[in-house]
Amino acid sequence: MEDKVLLGHGSGGTMMRRIIDEVFFEAYAGDELRRGDDAAVLPELPEGARLAFSTDSFVVTPHFFPGGDIGHLAICGTVNDIATSGAKPLYLSCGFILEEGYPIADLKRICKSMADVAIEAGVKLVTGDTKVVNKGHGDGVYINTSGIGVVPEGVDLGGAKCQPGDVVLVSGTLGDHGITIMSCRESLSFSADVKSDAAPLNHLIADVLEAAPGAVRCFRDPTRGGLASTLNELAEQSQVDIAIDEDAVPVRDAVRGACDMLGYDVFQVANEGKMVCIVSAEVADQVLSAMQANKYGVDAAIIGEVSAVQPDRGPKVFVRNAFGGRRILDMLVGEQLPRIC
């Protein structure tokens, strides 16, 4: 096997066959992928099953960072997007756009990472595609993943279902991923280690749904735009106000310090392994316990509540501080941290 990606690896000929066999198949191919057909034929689904479908593309730089890499991120991102609907993720596709000259060793490392997290999430990579662009016309590697899952009977979640009196939870500390990427990109060092939170959260979501059947309104992963954009989207979809307590939101000291130093609002910094959950107030404690029992939810917290919109204006998101003050939490405008996923 060559030690760098060549244009011939995307040609459709023997070189392409070799990179597929020795890199992609070697890392994560199951029976469906090894058949080599243009489309994966999947097992029959239960009668009446509802499908959840999502797609995402990943262009993050650097490709490797503390806590993960672009491949790990690609699997987690699509698994989590599917899981927010309450679905059980089952099958993923994976498309690579590779730049001529990219090291094969790095590509194998990425594929191994993808395989490991796919096993953890319980999903299969069943189809894919590879393209190679000329040197200087890419950034090493871009990845697209799409996926499907099955929504269990009786589960009906959505951002338009939040109601006054509901409670807002977050599954853990905020800002870890965005600050990790920025620290790597700008060669910054902090007094404590900061690493990406990228993780598959489908099992955590399943635990929450089991703990509070019928009482969960929605899940949303606060990726680009962070908690601020996520809560504003939910407020707009449901036409409600949302208020959170600043001191209740879990943030690592190193992340908070980095945000202060760089002038960022931690509520607008991206996360890749956290989940916002809106639930009926009656089940908030059960949901919190279910989250905290999962290894990816040990720092989960109740952070706020939903209320009715005032008649003279539209939906708003507010942050309350320890002194009784309140400020509006706006969506991110523009690009605070470019290419974090």
Rg (CA), the chain: 21
Q: How far apart are CA 18 and CA 245, in angstroms?
A: 55
Per-residue pLDDT of 179-217, as tens digits, reads 999 888 876 666 567 899 999 999 999 999 999 999 999
Residue 334, domain member (yes or no): no
Residue 132, domain member (yes or no): yes
State which of 118, 151, 184 marks the end of a domain.
151
pLDDT band at 340 (very low <50, low <70, confident <90, very high): confident
Is the pLDDT assigned to residue 334 strictly greater than 80?
no
Residue 201, domain member (yes or no): yes
Strands 326-328 and 64-65, bridge-based pairing = unpaired
Residue 337, domain member (yes or no): no
Average pLDDT over residues 295-318: 96
CATH of the domain at 52: 3.30.1330.10
Q: How far apart are CA 42 and CA 44, in angstroms?
A: 7
Residue 54, domain member (yes or no): yes
Which secondary-structure segment (H or E) carries 116?
helix 104-121
Residues 176 and 313 in one domain: yes
Q: Chain-wide mean pLDDT for the chain? A: 94
Residues 134 and 255 in one domain: no
180 CB contacts (<8 Å, ≥6 apart)? 65, 66, 67, 194, 195, 196
pLDDT at 112: 98
Q: Give the range among 97-106, 298-307, 323-332 with minimum mean pLDDT.
A: 323-332
Average pLDDT over residues 47-59: 94
State which of 151, 169, 198 marks the end of a domain.
151
Instruction: Name the nearest CA neighbour of 84 among 211, 230, 229, 225.
Output: 230
State which of 104, 119, 151 marks the end of a domain.
151
Residue 333, domain member (yes or no): no
CATH of the domain at 229: 3.90.650.10
Per-residue pLDDT of 15-27, as tens digits, reads 999 999 999 999 9
pLDDT band at 45 (very low <50, low <70, confident <90, very high): confident
Dihedral sign for Cα 217, 223, 224, 225, please: positive
* Sheet architecture: strand order including 50-58: 50-58, 141-151, 88-99, 124-133
Domain count, the chain: 2
Q: How far is CA 195 from the centre of its chain?
A: 15
Residue 1, domain member (yes or no): no
Instruction: Name the nearest CA neighbour of 230 among 191, 290, 273, 270.
Output: 270
Tokens read off for 62:
């650097």
Q: How far apart are CA 132 and CA 102, in angstroms?
A: 10
pLDDT at 60: 95
Percent of the chain with pLDDT over 70: 97
Strand segments, DSSP code E, in the chain are 50-58, 64-65, 68-69, 88-99, 124-133, 141-151, 167-170, 216-220, 240-245, 276-279, 301-308, 317-320, 326-328
Per-residue pLDDT of 221-242, as tens digits, reads 999 899 999 999 999 999 999 9
Is the pLDDT assigned to residue 76 strictly greater than 70?
yes
Residue 211, domain member (yes or no): yes
pLDDT band at 286 (very low <50, low <70, confident <90, very high): very high
pLDDT at 335: 65
For 242, the domain range is: 159-328
